[in-house]
Structure formats: C-alpha cells, structure tokens
Amino acid sequence: METATRATELPGELRYIQYEHALEEQYLPAIRALISKDLSEPYSIYVYRYFLYQWAHLCYMASSSANSNTMPPHSPATHRGYIAMLAVSSAYRGHGIATALVKMAIDAMADRNADEVVLETEETNTAAMRLYERLGFLRSKKLHRYYLNGNSAYRLVLLLKASVKPPPPLLPLDSASAAVVAAGGGGTAEDARPVSPTH
C-alpha cells in the first residue's frame, strides 16, 4: 500500500513527525491539551503512555514546532489495527491533515501485515464519519451510550485484505451539522477506554 504523506495545501509552518520516546516532554502536554479540548473521552496520562511507549513507531503527528495506532492480534488468524485519539486544531482544519495522518497510520499497519483496521467515533461526529468512510471504512456496529458523556458511537472497520469478511451494512447516518473531526490510535478498545467508577 502506498504511503500517503502529503496533504493538500498544508500550511507551511506544519510538518509531519513520527513520534519518539524522547519527544514526550516536548509534545505530550500539547497532545493531551488538544485531545482534551476536541474529544469527549477523558484520557489519563497512563492511556497516552500505554500507546506511545509500546507503539511509538506507529504514532504520527503534524506539528508547527498525533494518530496513533496499533496492531495487536485478536484471533490466531487475524491481525487488527486500532485507530483512536487524533484531533486537528481548528486553526489548521480544512488542509487534509487529518486524512493524511489517518492514511499514515493505516499504511503503517498494513506494512506490518494487519488484516483490518477498526475504530469508534461518536454518532454525532458526522465530519469524522465522512472522513473515515471516504477512506473506505464501513460501519459495523452501533455502540449505545459508549462514551462517558452518554453519547453513542459507531464502530467502523477498514478491510485491508480481500480474504477478510466485511461486516453487515448499517443504515446511513442522518444528515447533521459537522462536529469536531477526530481520529487517532493505539491498543485495543478495552485497553484504551478509562474505567468509569459507575460501571
């Protein structure tokens, strides 16, 4: 799979960076601030370190000075990549940055022999849904009250190999106003989601 590293009309002050452990002090506070501002899930520092320490080679950023993803096996015959926690600052949206970062993550997982890539996104986040569906993701399941804020989510899957059976189709989303475009990655959904004290 060809690596997509170029975004159209990328602002000149931005550049793409592959995350390294040595960059934590420089970049992690800004990454956490961006994710906390634009995504509804309250991730702790340990969630970020869980992703970044184990899979730094699969983590990408666009910076003016992230997407993270992983590919753990979920069955003996299938390798699954997982995307979560990527956000683009409002000042830089509309330049194809989110799409380019997601493609980088997908390509990195495909190069490591992933069979499919999955993610969850809020059902109200139609901008993110459109982004992922343009890249070939299919809606496989609706997750009711999935997030700690009470919002439901859709689970999406991108099949990287023809031998993987596609999920049954879901009804299309109703048209609604676009919310924050968000993506990202790392770990399994069970590992990544913080435990709510009420569950």
The mean per-residue pLDDT over the stretch 23-44 comes to: 78
Residue 21 sits at φ, ψ, to 5 deg, of: -55, -35
Local structure of residue 177 (DSSP, 8 states): -
- Picking from 157, 91, 146, the residue whose alpha carbon sits closest to that of residue 123 is 146
How many residues are there in the chain? 199
User: Residue 95: is its pLDDT beyond 90?
Assistant: yes
User: Residue 175: is its pLDDT beyond 70?
Assistant: no
- At 184 the pLDDT is 38
Q: Provide the greatest CA pair distance for the chain.
A: 46
| pTM of the shown model | 0.55
| Cα–Cα distance measured from residue 93 to residue 87, given in angstroms and rounded to the nearest whole number | 10
State the alpha helices, DSSP H only, in the chain. Answer: 24-38, 45-54, 97-111, 126-134, 189-192
**CB neighbourhood size of 69 (10 A):** 31
Residue 161 sits at φ, ψ, to 5 deg, of: -130, 140
Gyration radius of the chain over CA positions:
16
The mean per-residue pLDDT over the stretch 186-194 comes to: 37
- At 167 the pLDDT is 60
Q: What is the mean pLDDT of the chain?
A: 73
In the numeric block, the tokens 């509804």 are attached to 40
Q: Which residues of 105-126 are buried (b: 16+ CB within 10 A; e: fewer)?
A: bbbbbbeeebbbbbbbbbbbbb
User: Residue 182: is its pLDDT beyond 60?
Assistant: no
- At 99 the pLDDT is 95
Percent residues over pLDDT 90 in the chain: 30
**What domains does the chain contain, in order, with CATH numbers?**
15-191 (3.40.630.30)
pLDDT category, 42, cuts 50, 70, 90?
A: low
| Cα–Cα distance measured from residue 110 to residue 100, given in angstroms and rounded to the nearest whole number | 15
Q: What is the pLDDT of residues 51-73, one digit of tens each?
A: 888 888 888 888 875 333 433 33
Higher pLDDT among residues 14 and 169, named by residue: 14
Q: Which residues of 13-38 are buried (b: 16+ CB within 10 A; e: fewer)?
A: ebebeebeeebbeebbeebbebbeeb
pLDDT category, 136, cuts 50, 70, 90?
A: very high
Higher pLDDT among residues 31 and 43, named by residue: 31
